[in-house]
Amino acid sequence: MSDVWLAVLVIGMVTAAIKIAPAVWLGGRPLPDRLEGVVALLAPTLLAALVTVQTLGADGRAVLDARAAGLITAGAAVAVRAPILAVAGAAALTAALVRALA
Amino acid sequence: MPLGVAAFTFGVSFGVLARGAGFDGLSATVMSATTWAGSAQFASASVLEAGGGAAAAIIAAVLLNARYGAMSLALAPSLRGSPVRRAATSLGLADETWALAAHGDGRFDPGRMVGAALVMWVGWVAGTALGSLGGDFLGDPKSLGLDAAFPALFLALLVPQLRSRPALAAAAGGSIVALVLLPVAPAGVPIIAAAAVALLGLKRPR
């Protein structure tokens, strides 16, 4: 089975379990405060890490390239609350232009 | 409903980028239908694209989805009916549907959540199908700047999460850890290691 399909199947099942189990089996009892704090921080931590790696990572190194320019445009688009497809499109367009002009 | 349209366009993005990461139309659409969690799907696709392998992709996705466990716990007291019905309802959990269903006092409206979830799900899956099938006609992703779209999407997902000082600190810390590990760790590891920064949440019991 390819990596992709393995990931798709396992992630699908685990995600469903994460959404269902607490509601059905643990019903009512809250997470210990400290654990809840950690869980709440997981998304911002990981998303920020992903932004970093996706912008600067290339073949096991950190490089500054057209993607960074795209990210700046994306930042502006997010600031004006553009729809997500426009944010992605703006970044792609910027990166493509930078590459074409460089 | 604007929610459905937003989910649709978001799904198109995922479909297109999943193609670039090695998914085909079927696997991308199946993933959107079964996992139905934007951040985790994008994250796993990006890890796979970087050559990180299934294990790293799975761990990244699970860590990103861990918050749904907390949301499910919060939702639990508002659910009624048989375990099957409660399970079916909680599958409708997503950041947007959960936020929409919240009354603000700790109670949730499961009907509202499920209604929003259905609309979003249809848009999401349809968008993915379209994006992943249309991806064939796009040519070289780099010349179109599509590789810049991934970080842009993550940025768009990140910003709404930065609702507090701890969240900002965690985001900064996660970025630094990931950046430092980039040159020295195999693909996917910097992301997962950055998750350790979330342990900042342990410091102060509320």
Residues B188-203 pLDDT 10s:
788 888 888 887 777 6
Taking the C-alpha atoms of residue B180 and residue B41, their distance in angstroms, rounded to an integer, is 24
Look at A53 and B152 and tell me if their CB atoms are within 8 Å: no
pTM of the model: 0.78
Decide if the complex's ipTM is over 0.95: no
Looking at residue B142, its pLDDT comes to 66
Question: Mean pLDDT for chain B?
Answer: 85
Residues B150-170 pLDDT 10s:
888 889 888 988 988 888 999
To the nearest whole Å, the CA of B87 is away from the closest chain A CA by 5
CA distances, A64 to each of A60, A67, A69 (Å): 13, 8, 9
Look at A87 and B30 and tell me if their CB atoms are within 8 Å: no
A23 Cβ contact partners less than 8 Å away, ≥ 6 residues apart? B72, B73, B75, B76, B79, B86, B87, B89, B90
Look at A7 and B57 and tell me if their CB atoms are within 8 Å: yes
Contact B45, A7 (CB under 8 A): no
pLDDT by residue, tens only, chain A of 102 residues: 789 999 999 999 999 999 999 888 865 566 677 777 787 888 888 889 889 988 998 777 888 999 999 999 999 999 999 988 889 889 989 999 999 898
* φ, ψ for residue A20, nearest 5 deg: -90, -45
Look at B77 and A27 and tell me if their CB atoms are within 8 Å: yes
Look at B35 and A15 and tell me if their CB atoms are within 8 Å: yes
- Contact residues, chain B, for A50 at CB < 8 Å: 42-43, 46, 151, 154, 178, 191
Residues B31-54 pLDDT 10s:
999 999 988 999 899 889 888 889
User: Which residue in chain B is spatially nearest to A52 when comparing CA positions?
Assistant: B175
- Contact residues, chain B, for A55 at CB < 8 Å: 151
Q: Residue B145: pLDDT band by 50, 70, 90 thresholds? A: confident
B50 Cβ contact partners less than 8 Å away, ≥ 6 residues apart? A53, A57, B187, B188
User: Which residue in chain A is spatially nearest to B205 when comparing CA positions?
Assistant: A34
Instruction: Collapse the DSSP code of A58 into the 3-class scheme (helix H, G, I; strand E, B; otherwise coil) and give the result.
Output: strand
Token pair belonging to B68: 């749904």
Q: Quick check: B59 pLDDT over 90?
A: yes
